Amino acid sequence: MLTRRDLLVNGTAFAAAAPFAAGATEHDPTTLTLQRRVIEVNGKPASVYGVRQGDGYAGLVAEAGGRFRVRLENELSEPSLLHWHGLAPPSQQDGVPGLSGPAVPPGGMADYDFPLAFGGTYFMHSHFGFQEQGLLAAPLIVRDPKRYPDWQEVVVMLADFSFRPPQEIYESLTGQKAAAGSMGGMAGMGSMGGAAHEGMDHAAHGAGMEMSGMGHSDAMKHMPSQDGKPAAPMATHDLNDVAYDAFLANERTLADPQLITVENGGRVLLRVINSACMSAFHADLGELPGMLVAVDGQDVAAVPGSRFPVAAGQRLDILVELPKGARAFPIVFVLEGERKQTGVILAPRGAQVVRVAELAAQPSGALDLSLETQLRASQPLPQRKADRVIPLDLTGDMASYVWSINNAIWTEKTPPIELARGERVELVMTNKTMMSHPMHLHGHRFQVVEIDGRRLSGALRDTALVPPGGRVVVAFDADNPGHWAFHCHLLYHAQAGMFATFRYA
Ligand SMILES: [Cu+2]
In the predicted structure, residue 347 carries a pLDDT above the cut 60: yes
How far does residue 390's CA lie from ligand 1's centre (Å)? 19
In the predicted structure, residue 372 carries a pLDDT above the cut 70: yes
Confidence of residue 28 (pLDDT cuts 50, 70, 90): confident
How far does residue 437's CA lie from ligand 1's centre (Å)? 4
In the predicted structure, residue 208 carries a pLDDT above the cut 50: no
Find residue 487's DSSP bridge partners.
440, 499
In the predicted structure, residue 286 carries a pLDDT above the cut 60: yes
> Does residue 126 fall inside a structural domain?
yes
Find residue 57's DSSP bridge partners.
none
> Does residue 70 fall inside a structural domain?
yes
Residue 64, domain extent: 13-145
> Does residue 338 fall inside a structural domain?
no
How far does residue 68's CA lie from ligand 1's centre (Å)? 30
Instruction: Give the three-class secondary structure for 435.
Output: coil
Distances (CA, A) of 113 to 22, 26, 30, 105, 380: 15, 11, 11, 20, 27
Return the pLDDT at 132.
Answer: 97
In the predicted structure, residue 385 carries a pLDDT above the cut 50: yes
Mean pLDDT of the 76-98 span: 97
Q: Order the strands of the 120-126 sheet from edge to edge.
A: 60-63, 137-143, 120-126, 82-85
pTM, 2 dp: 0.86
Confidence of residue 27 (pLDDT cuts 50, 70, 90): low
Cβ proximity of 271 and 294 under 8 Å = no
Confidence of residue 20 (pLDDT cuts 50, 70, 90): very low
Mean pLDDT of the 473-480 span: 98
How far does residue 400's CA lie from ligand 1's centre (Å)? 14
Domain end (from 123, 145, 167) = 145
How far does residue 489's CA lie from ligand 1's centre (Å)? 6
Q: Which helix (H) or strand (E) holds 48?
A: strand 44-52
Confidence of residue 178 (pLDDT cuts 50, 70, 90): low
Cβ proximity of 215 and 99 under 8 Å = no
In the predicted structure, residue 481 carries a pLDDT above the cut 90: yes
Cβ proximity of 343 and 330 under 8 Å = yes
Return the pLDDT at 23.
Answer: 45
Name which residue leads in pLDDT, 497 or 204: 497
Return the pLDDT at 26.
Answer: 55
- Provide the CATH number for the domain around residue 439: 2.60.40.420
Q: How far is residue 155's CA from residue 315's CA, in Å, rounded to a whole number?
A: 10
Name which residue leads in pLDDT, 291 or 196: 291
State the DSSP code for 416: P
In the predicted structure, residue 221 carries a pLDDT above the cut 70: no
Neighbouring C-beta atoms of residue 2, cutoff 10 Å: 15
Domain end (from 145, 161, 196) = 145
Bridge-based pairing state of the strands 417-418 and 499-504: parallel
Split into its structural domains, the chain has a count of 2
Give me the phi and psi of 170, to 5 degrees please: -60, -40
State what percent of residues in the chain have pLDDT above 90. 78
How far does residue 494's CA lie from ligand 1's centre (Å)? 7
Q: What is the pLDDT of residues 225-265, one digit of tens each?
A: 444 433 333 445 688 889 899 999 999 999 999 999 999 99
Return the pLDDT at 238.
Answer: 80
Please report, for the chain, how many H helices and E strands are present, in that order.
4, 31
Return the pLDDT at 326.
Answer: 87
How far does residue 259's CA lie from ligand 1's centre (Å)? 33
Q: How far is residue 161's CA from residue 358's CA, in Å, rounded to a whole number?
A: 15
Domain end (from 118, 145, 172) = 145
How far does residue 150's CA lie from ligand 1's centre (Å)? 38
> Does residue 354 fall inside a structural domain?
no
> Does residue 326 fall inside a structural domain?
no
In the predicted structure, residue 431 carries a pLDDT above the cut 70: yes
In the predicted structure, residue 333 carries a pLDDT above the cut 90: yes
How far does residue 238's CA lie from ligand 1's centre (Å)? 11
> Does residue 314 fall inside a structural domain?
no
In the predicted structure, residue 30 carries a pLDDT above the cut 60: yes
* Relative orientation angle of helices 166-174 and 189-199, to the nearest 10 degrees: 120
How far does residue 164's CA lie from ligand 1's centre (Å)? 21
Cα Rg of the chain, angstroms: 21
Cβ proximity of 152 and 263 under 8 Å = yes
> Does residue 106 fall inside a structural domain?
yes
Instruction: Give the three-class secondary structure for 6.
Output: helix
Confidence of residue 177 (pLDDT cuts 50, 70, 90): low
In the predicted structure, residue 469 carries a pLDDT above the cut 80: yes
Count of residues in the chain: 505
Return the pLDDT at 210.
Answer: 31
In the predicted structure, residue 42 carries a pLDDT above the cut 60: yes
- Concatenating the DSSP letter of every residue in 11-37 gives TB-TTB--TTSS---SS-PEEEEEEEE
Return the pLDDT at 180.
Answer: 40
> Does residue 168 fall inside a structural domain?
no
In the predicted structure, residue 224 carries a pLDDT above the cut 50: no
